Amino acid sequence: MITLGTVSNGVNGVITKPVRAIGGFFAMSLDTFVMMFKPPFAWREFLIQIWFVARVALIPTLLMSIPFCTQVIFNLNILLVDLGAADLSGVGASVGIVNQIGPIVDVLVVAGAGATAVCADLGARTIREELDAMRVMGINPIQALVVPRVLALTLVALMLFALVTLAGLTGSFFFSVYVQGVTPGAWASSLTLLIGLSDVIVAMVKAMLFGLAAGLIACYKGVTVGGGPQGVGNAVNETVIFAFMALFAVNVLMTAVGVQVRAQ
């Protein structure tokens, strides 16, 4: 029999559980930022995680960046050719890839490959009670495990953005010149008409924030996992969803900042 108290407890659980999760996430994030500057720093774990995340995300980055960038530039060049402005295809490539395509591909790869791998690794450690054993030995899991992974994802996201930009511009050049007949000199000369140093810096900061947000979400879901192996799988799925939501929010915010910087 369902009573009023049962319904009230269910409603309270629905409300309080997300609030506690958000509070726990921000508490862990604050601890992470504090432990970043507290010695000793886990250099060995940091380097291992850089290689681990880069190895997981490198191939998906290349497989996504080239066709994704080529498709967008192809459609843009068709419009420019119809308008009689095919020589400005370099402008479209640089603006599209640096401002939007590069960060979006970075979002997909960091959240879909790197963050999920980190979450699965920490989740497996959590259900094996390795984190509890570290606390018993006086080792802070945040300092030993979370901080290196968050910083590794931040750095790898920046490197992946550079890789996506390079691959996208190279693919756009060959596709525009050898397929759509754009003059190489005109393509190269128009490349920097609308893109400057400030735009590149904003895009780099955007990529680093992507990695930071994805790393914090992945680590939080990993260290708070429960329910055995099935819980690890659920945490990985939730990491993808939450990371996509956070990273697209960061993309919108930083795009608005970039527009304001360009207007100055």
Identify the pLDDT of residue 12.
53
- Most confident residue range from 57-61, 66-70, 130-134, 147-151: 147-151
Residues contacting residue 207 through CB under 8 Å, at least 6 positions apart: 102, 103, 106, 157, 158, 160, 161
Residue range 233-253: mean pLDDT, rounded: 83
Quick: pLDDT tens for 66-103.
777 777 777 777 777 777 766 777 777 777 778 777 77
DSSP letters, the chain, are ---HHHHHHHHHHHHHHHHHHHHHHHHHHHHHHHHHTSSSP-HHHHHHHHHHHHHHHHHHHHHHHHHHHHHHHHHHHHHHHHTT-GGGHHHHHHHHIIIIIHHHHHHHHIIIIIHHHHHHHHHHHHHTTHHHHHHHTT--HIIIIIHHHHHHHHHHHHHHHHHHHHHHHHHHHHHHHHTS---HHHHHHTTTSS--HHHHHHHHHHHHHHHHHHHHHHHHHHHT--SHHHHHHHHHHHHHHHHHHHHHHHHHHHHHHHHHHHH-
pLDDT tens, residue by residue, 31-50:
889 888 888 888 999 999 88
Q: What pLDDT score was predicted for residue 47?
A: 92
123 conformational bin, left if phi > 0, alpha if psi -120 to 50, beta if neither? alpha
Contact 106, 164 (CB under 8 A): yes
Instruction: With beta carbons less than 8 A apart as the criterion, state whether 129 and 237 touch.
Output: no
Q: How many CB atoms lie within 10 A of CB 122?
A: 26
Domain ranges of the chain: 43-263
Residue 9 has pLDDT above 60, yes or no: no
What is the share, in percent, of the chain residues with pLDDT greater than 70?
Answer: 92
Q: What is the pTM of this model?
A: 0.85
Distance CA(48)–CA(51), nearest Å, equals 5
| Biggest CA pair distance of the chain | 79
**Chain segment 145-180, per-residue pLDDT in tens:** 899 999 999 898 888 888 888 888 887 788 777 877
Please tell me the least confidently modeled range out of 1-10, 164-173, 194-203: 1-10
Confidence class for position 7, pLDDT limits 50, 70, 90? very low
Token pair recorded at residue 199: 């735009």
Rounded mean pLDDT, 5-21: 60
